Chains A and B, each alone.
Chain A
């Protein structure tokens, strides 16, 4: 059973669902800066035969990469933490100026039971910054809505050539254990 194997590998059911949405939505490539919240999804993408992946040195590289892939005929998704959104801001201009689709999945920090105060400034402003940069911003609060929200975001990005972000709530992702 995929479910049992996923559990052993620390892959959450909602992460498996995102991967399935990516597959159904013809995502050819996934780029990311490694992140605890995205870990299970990144593992699924890396182990997939149909999907290529790129580990980025900084999130902003992913915007240029997504643009190049799409110009060459491929769909991609870009995974990051809310802190990474701040790193990207000027590069978002590429998506807006050329109307190139851009699909971002953002694991939120700094909004629920945050242990590191440095995460709060960027976490707090992530929705406003994305909105200011022209993104259509969707949010998933509960595990049972993740697949639907991501599927809608994916379609909106590639049907309408939009920059679309899905914010994955920190409460949903779960508390990080800081004591171990």
Chain B
């Protein structure tokens, strides 16, 4: 079984200018625990939107790798976004679904994946060219390496250990998150 904090640390190792969209709840804590970075967009709300924010970034920054870190709960809420991706299939976009089959934020209640819903199979059915389910910590590094190659849309489901881990809470002010992110990505003088 995969431990989520270690897995995200492995994914973000030597990240360079990797853009990270962290979905609400635990993915935000995971991203911070791996080291705060201006190119982390902590998407604290709008549950279900993380993949679409990542799609927008992947389309507007086609030569830069974009990683969306999202929980199974949020991915289920934004199910349709997997279908929407099919028309673009951005080569620089990787979606990592941290699947513990429960809603950690609200007290470990079962999500649909606890009843057999297979999110990698859903992504494959939605025409994602590369999908896999990973259960072994040692396989996380291969996702990290593939992500930096930007050679095709990838969706990976990481089956992570159940249970909560101590929270590491990043900045929550949306304007501060945005300003920091855009200054790093586009420079302070960028207008549109």
Contacts and interface: CB of A to CB of B under 8 A. Distances in A.
A97 interface: yes
Interface residues of B, number: 38
B45 A97 contact: yes
B185 A72 contact: yes
Contacts of A55: 84, 87
Contact of A65 (B55, B61, B83, B182): B55
Nearest to B68: A68
Interface in A47-79: 52, 54-58, 60-76
Top 6 A-B residue pairs of the complex, sorted by shortest distance between their CB atoms:
A68-B56, A72-B60, A64-B52, A64-B49, A57-B80, A97-B174
A54 B86 CA distance: 10
Contacts of A98: 174-175, 177-178
Nearest to A62: B52
A96 B53 CA distance: 15
A100 interface: yes
Interface of B: 21, 41, 43-61, 78, 80-81, 83-84, 87-88, 174-175, 177-178, 181-182, 185-186, 190, 192
A177 interface: no
Contacts of A26: 192
Contacts of A73: 60-61, 182, 185-186, 190, 192
Contact of A71 (B41, B44, B51, B78): B41
A94 B45 CA distance: 7
Given A68-B21, A74-B60, A94 B46 contact: yes
B49 A72 contact: no
Nearest to A69: B56
A179 interface: no
